[in-house]
Amino acid sequence: MASGPGPIKLHVADVQTAVPASVGVEAGLVVLTEDEHPGRSLRIIIGQPEARAILAAWQGATPGRPSTWDLYVSTVTALGARIDRVVLTAVQEERHYFAVIELEQKGERRTLSCRPSDAIALALRTYNADILAEPDVLDAAGVLPDGSKSPAAPAPSVDEREAALSAREAELAARERALAEREGTRTAPEGSDGAGQS
């Protein structure tokens, strides 16, 4: 069965360390923009320490002492792994974001859940690590360059939903058959060795 579109590549377009979050309260802000057309952006409100960490890495600043994020990257490297990419996987209410870090170690890929702010801070400290977002995240919260919301993807038709369901059922049936065949080759027929027969 064909898979849907994969995660979309983003880049950091802006970082602010002090924006109004509520009356008398300030927060940080990071803006991620997709590399390709239509260039939608995600505005993510984050903590001020995380915003400063992202800004420092984005600007290529070298701290006098390693930050928590620097230490994490150094530890991952010392253990023979590397951060391959970070992915924004979901969003709720257009403001609560979820992310994962994908690590590669000796040919194995490991995925860790994390806050988007930590994911971005780590990706910017890692050579060649991509920042991506699932298409659904950009569809739900992406803002076009003119400030308008990106149009929602059309809902699938009844025929498309039925076709997808049929394909999924066929895939599951094929898996069940393969599993049954595998189990059949592992288990000898009952009584085939003559045990228990009179």
Three-class SS string for 45-58?
Answer: EECHHHHHHHHHHH
- Which residues lie below 8 Å from residue 104, measured CB to CB, with a gap of 6+? 81, 82, 84, 110
Whether residue 89 is predicted with pLDDT greater than 70 in this model: the reply is yes
| C-alpha pair distances (Å), 16 with each of 40, 150, 188 | 19, 24, 67
Is the bond leading into 38 cis (omega within 30 degrees of zero)?
yes
Q: What pLDDT is recorded for position 173?
A: 78
Whether 58 shows a pLDDT value over 90: the answer reads yes
Confidence of residue 156 (pLDDT cuts 50, 70, 90): low
Q: Report if pTM > 0.75.
A: no
CB 9 within 8 A of CB 130: yes
Residue 90 has pLDDT above 50, yes or no: yes
Sequence-distant (≥ 6) Cβ neighbours of residue 77 within 8 angstroms: none
Helix (H, G, I), strand (E, B) or coil at 120: helix
Residue of higher predicted confidence among 94 and 141: 141
Task: Decide: 73 and 125 in contact? Cβ < 8 Å.
Answer: yes
**CB contact set of 96 (below 8 Å; sequence gap of 6+):** none
The SS3 assignment for 194 reads coil
Higher-confidence residue of 190 and 22: namely 22
What's the CA gap between 19 and 169, in Å, rounded? 50
Residue that the structure tokens 């394909």 belong to: 167
